[in-house]
Amino acid sequence: MTPEVNFETMTEFKPTPELNQARNFEIEHRTPADRQPAFHFTPAVGWMNDPNGFSVYKKQVHLFYQYHPYSNQWGPMHWGHQVSKDLIVWKQKPAALAPDQPFDKDGCFSGSAVESEQGHVLMYTGCANGKQNQCLAIGDGQNYAKFEANPVLSQVNLPKGYSDVDFRDPKLWKTGTTWYLAAGILNPEKKGEVILFSSPNLKDWTFESILLSFDGTNGKMLECPDVFLLDDQPMLICSPQNMHAQGYEFHNGHNSVYIPGRFNQSLESSRFFQKEARQLDYGLDFYAPQTTLLEDGRRILIGWMSSWNSPILCSRQNWTSQMTLPRELSFKQGKLIQKPIREIENWYKETSHIDNVHLDGTFEDNRMSGRYLDATLQFSNPAHHFAIDLACDENHKTTFTIDASKGWMEMDRTYSGMEEDWVTVRKAALPESGVDQLRIIMDLYSVEIFVNQGEMVLSTVIPTLPQADRIVLHGQDENLTIDFHSMDVEKLHQEKLKNDLDET
């Protein structure tokens, strides 16, 4: 295959038997929409983990993902594929990649995508015979042809002493006429690094520098690196494996962190330092985030809302895992701010306002309920002792608690209907100024809590059956009142059901 292939007509594209099999299977076994969340990205069937190829191509947002269609457990990795115009309503596309070539026969691992003059460029990690190398495919937004000369980036491109055994997750971008690629790797001392390469043509790559090096004291392999400018600030996010808890930080073992660059220069000349690593999400379920830049200039992040050792819900359905709600990023006063993507506001159905709630024990109102909602709680002053029970009935609840006297907040899904030995509680340190606002996004099987307009986020999956939909407030702060504003997004559920019928 050569760059002269006409990717508009894809006359050179011929799906392999392996890819055809995956595409047919996901059509025949796709999950009905009424068994899935309304507006969180989920696979049609099977297992999903890392988001891949999050990109804009021909004015649509494309999201690929690590995918094993044939069971709800991890297996040989494919790339699933969906598209959206607003990052809320997603349309299924045929599976994009299958492990069907000598250079990726053991799996098409994580990677990225970029719009180019040649077409939609996918760069991914091909796994074969215990080696991990970077491979290229180009397509038209639906079908993707792999370069016969893959891998384009391999052992021969690495610095002396480095191995391609743990070398994966390429993030691709272009500056001027030069292509750049960041990837995670273990150095000769088995310590995690993010390294940078450059290329004039996507095929011939040269090692440039080390962007980030962990010293081995806390965290090993640095998975899924992403490098970008945010409000003119160089930023690197990645997912270090095997971290140790430090106070209320890094409790998940495999974590996701962000690191601001020290120099306000180009991405390619920036350096990042381990001691600046800060946790991205304080919930129970978050890993391998990836970002893209929208045409209007917003930098958007989406992450895998799961944990490697707690794939919630896999026991009673034919799909596993969901992505977080896409988040708009900004960098203010040295902090990464994450807010729910504003397009969700276009889908509000009804709004409930309950103002000046004074808590002296327990408060419940039938206007506070639902499993598809976007609710904001505004406190008159920082909450001291407060709790909210979500997805409640007589036997179930998921509780978020603030205890200022102890300096922490907590997510607890112990009573959410867990049937296996999953992690159920996660604590995080309160912001220095306390908590004066919570925004809670619920979508059937998940809870995302945005603290102080995105200063902190906690993402958690719950297995609670849909009929548990009450919300209960608890508190005893004498001087505290709460305004509770809830936006019903059931309309999104109805839209998903309609789309499901149209596709069928």
441 falls within a domain: yes
Residues 153 and 272 in one domain: yes
74 falls within a domain: yes
Residues 331 and 360 in one domain: no
**What H or E segment, with its residue span, contains residue 495?**
helix 490-503
6 falls within a domain: no
* pLDDT confidence bin for 33, thresholds 50/70/90: confident
Go through 420-454 and write b for each residue having 16 or more CB atoms within 10 A of its CB, e for each that does not: eebbbebbbebeeebbbbbbbbbbbbbbbbbbbeb
Strand 361-363, strand 144-146: pairing = unpaired
> What is the structure's pLDDT at 265?
60
Q: Provide the residue range defining the domain that includes 420.
A: 350-488
CATH of the domain at 403: 2.60.120.560
* pLDDT confidence bin for 232, thresholds 50/70/90: confident
119 falls within a domain: yes
Helix (H, G, I), strand (E, B) or coil at 316: helix
* pLDDT confidence bin for 498, thresholds 50/70/90: confident
Residues 273 and 171 in one domain: yes
> What is the structure's pLDDT at 63?
98
> What is the structure's pLDDT at 10?
39
343 DSSP 8-state letter: G
Residues 412 and 333 in one domain: no
**What H or E segment, with its residue span, contains residue 18?**
helix 17-28
497 falls within a domain: no
291 falls within a domain: yes
Mean pLDDT of all residues in the chain?
A: 91
3 falls within a domain: no
Helix (H, G, I), strand (E, B) or coil at 34: helix
* pLDDT confidence bin for 133, thresholds 50/70/90: very high
* pLDDT confidence bin for 401, thresholds 50/70/90: very high
215 is catalytic: no
Residues 377 and 328 in one domain: no
Enter the pTM of the model: 0.95
Residues 449 and 375 in one domain: yes
> What is the structure's pLDDT at 269?
78
> What is the structure's pLDDT at 7?
39
Which range, of 93-107, 254-268, 323-337, averages the lowest pLDDT?
A: 254-268
Q: What domain count does the chain have? A: 2
Residues 377 and 245 in one domain: no
Contacts of 481 (CB under 8 A, 6+ apart): 356, 357, 358, 379, 380
Residues 77 and 219 in one domain: yes
Residues 393 and 477 in one domain: yes
CATH of the domain at 132: 2.115.10.20
Which of 34, 50, 106, 393 is the catalytic position? 50
Residues 375 and 326 in one domain: no
69 DSSP 8-state letter: T
Query: CA nearest 452: which of 337, 333, 300?
Result: 337
Residues 148 and 292 in one domain: yes
> What is the structure's pLDDT at 8?
44
Across 302-315, average pLDDT: 79
* pLDDT confidence bin for 479, thresholds 50/70/90: confident
The pLDDT of residue 329 is above 60:
yes
Residues 70 and 202 in one domain: yes
What one-letter code names the amino acid at 432?
A: E
* pLDDT confidence bin for 504, thresholds 50/70/90: very low
